Structure 1
Amino acid sequence: MENGFQIVDILSGSRTTILTTQGVTSAVFSPNHDRIFFIQTIPGGGSELVTAFTNGTGIQSLFKAPNEFYALSDVTKDGGNILLTHCKVGNDDESDSCFLATYNFITTKLQWVLLAGNRVQGTHASFNGDGTKITFIRLDEDEKNDVFISDWIGSV
Structure 2
Amino acid sequence: MSILDAKIARLDGSPSTLGEITAGRPALLVNVASKCGLTPQYAGLEELQEKYGDEAFTVVGLPCNQFYGQEPGSAEEIAEFCSATYGVTFPMTEKIEVNGEDRHEVYRTLVETPNEEGEAGDVSWNFEKFLLDANGEVVARFKPQVLPDDPRLVAAIEGLVRD
Bin for the TM-score computed over the shorter chain? under 0.3
More helix by share: 2
Q: Relative contact order (alpha carbons < 8 A, sep ≥ 6): 1 or 2 greater?
A: 2
Larger Rg: 1
